[in-house]
Amino acid sequence: MQKESKIYKGMTVAVVGLGITGQAAVHYCLECGAQVIVSDSRPRARFQEEMAAFLQKTGVEWEAGGHTFEFLNKADCVIVSPGIPESHEAIIRLKAAGIPVVGELAVAAPHLNMPVVAVTGTNGKTTVTSLIGEIVKEDGRSVFVGGNIGTPVFEFLRKKDKADVMVLEVSSFQLMAAGDFAPDVGVLLNITPDHIDRHGSLSEYAAAKMRLFCHQKSAHTAVMCSDDPECMARVGQLPSQCVTFGNVPGSTARIEGQVVRSMVAGHEVVYDLTGTAFIGRIGASNAAAAILACQALGIAPDVIMAALKKFQPGPHRIALVGELHGVRFINDSKGTNTGAVIAALQQLDGKALLIAGGRDKGEDYRLLREQVQEKARTVIVIGEAAAKISEALQGCTELRSAETLDEAVRLGYSLAEPGDAVLLSPACSSFDMFTSYAHRGEMFAAAVHKLIAEDSAGDGGGR
């Protein structure tokens, strides 16, 4: 355990970023007897308005409008939210001054006395994390599922809850400040370009993902994708036992169509995914990763299979919203990088009217060219990255633009043919036009439902 990650009575802790995790961190540190100060990037007036009740209740000293070394230098320890980059001037100066800068996982690590499964990767994290949680429940064990999705780990620590197993989704940002955090089972699903604006290069992004394993011991398990060359190039860095999933012969969990063949204690177990939610190559890959993680926890194959049959993925990931005159509307708002968009297009039958765009994260949209040329009838660009996406996709297919998501939905439907799908898969973050990817997905669904309602009322449905 890193001594500087421990929160104790009488120390001063600075919490940088007062989002959901930051608020939970403040409550946790106050309950540990620490004095807490808070730094937030929101403009002062907006911060006061939005956080008035929280500030009154906690009585913390605060600054807003940015993070300053002069304010944060008063702390014995600084807890950073995942959105705060290591390259921030104040963070660099704090580290140079010898003040520990840690994240939620670093603080939580010494308190986790149950088996911990942590899932990372560019795409599929939420589905696989949720699936593992459901399999553990099916096994009759209590489970906490959280981290980058749902409930912050700080809330678990505050409530002093008991759990037989903890399952966490962890991002590259969280891993950058994870301290000694070492999951019993670490799962790396894939590595494709994402958050390059923050990490600077694919190599640095991959290095951040690999931090999931750096404090594991030989008795721990690393689950890696054998189909992903970026993952396989880094297997030699692992200090733990490695098991693999994919189509490659020799994989611990070998995918053959809709069947996963997995080795358990020297014997092959066959998981037939027919009739489950795990259709196609991506679905089978997600299922195989969860199977290996749960086998590492000692869960029996029949229990795993029972949970696979029951599981339904969450919203905003290749979710059918509705259908109108043979045209499907699919919400993949969680597809915030090029790898996710490619995966969504690969899973579609028929042509797509692809709605893409939002706030750029440093993506190379040229990576979409092959799949767009093969699967997209038209690409409709929206948001701040519209021009950059259009430039990258010139010559691949028809390119159109829309000012709003509602306009994009209507334009897509007007250009579609029966059997096509209007697909929202943005390859960008949502923060130029929406508060979150979930908000963007909800607005897409609302636009679709409005279009269908107008058609039912005889208003033409936009065609």
CATH code for position 183:
3.40.1190.10
| Structural domain contains residue 462 | no
pLDDT for position 1:
38
Shared domain check, 336 and 242: no
Shared domain check, 298 and 341: no
Say what the pTM is: 0.79
Separation between Cα atoms, residue 135 and residue 256, nearest integer Å: 22
Shared domain check, 369 and 294: no
Segment among 98-107, 346-355, 381-390 with least mean pLDDT? 346-355
Pick 193 or 98 by higher pLDDT.
98
Domain boundaries, position 72: 3-102
Give the annotated binding-site residues for ATP.
121-127
Q: For 407-457, how does the pLDDT look when each residue is reduced to its tens digit (9 = 90+)?
A: 999 999 999 999 999 999 999 999 999 999 999 999 999 999 999 999 988
Task: Report how many domains make up the chain.
Answer: 3
| Structural domain contains residue 463 | no
Shared domain check, 119 and 48: no
| Structural domain contains residue 461 | no
* Strand ranges in 7-151 using DSSP code E only, listed in sequence order: 12-16, 35-40, 61-64, 77-80, 101-102, 116-120, 143-147
Q: Which residues of 211-250 are buried (b: 16+ CB within 10 A; e: fewer)?
A: bbbbbbeeebbbbbbbbbebbbebeeebebebbbbbbeee
Shared domain check, 290 and 204: yes
Shared domain check, 42 and 87: yes
Separation between Cα atoms, residue 325 and residue 84, nearest integer Å: 46
User: Which alpha helices (DSSP H) does 229-320 contain, by range?
Assistant: 229-232, 280-296, 301-310
Separation between Cα atoms, residue 436 and residue 202, nearest integer Å: 24
458 CB neighbour count, 10 Å cutoff: 7
Shared domain check, 180 and 302: yes
- Is residue 198 scored above 80 in pLDDT? no
pLDDT for position 458:
76
The residue among 286, 310, 334 that closes a domain is 310
User: Among 110, 111, 103, 120, which residue's Cα sits nearest to residue 22?
Assistant: 103
Shared domain check, 273 and 130: yes
pLDDT for position 27:
97
CATH code for position 26:
3.40.50.720
| Structural domain contains residue 225 | yes
Place of tokens 């940002």: 173
Cβ(233)–Cβ(190) under 8 Å?
A: no
Shared domain check, 252 and 222: yes
Shared domain check, 269 and 174: yes
Give the annotated binding-site residues.
121-127
Shared domain check, 139 and 59: no
- 328 Cβ partners below 8 Å, 6+ apart? 320, 322, 420, 421, 422
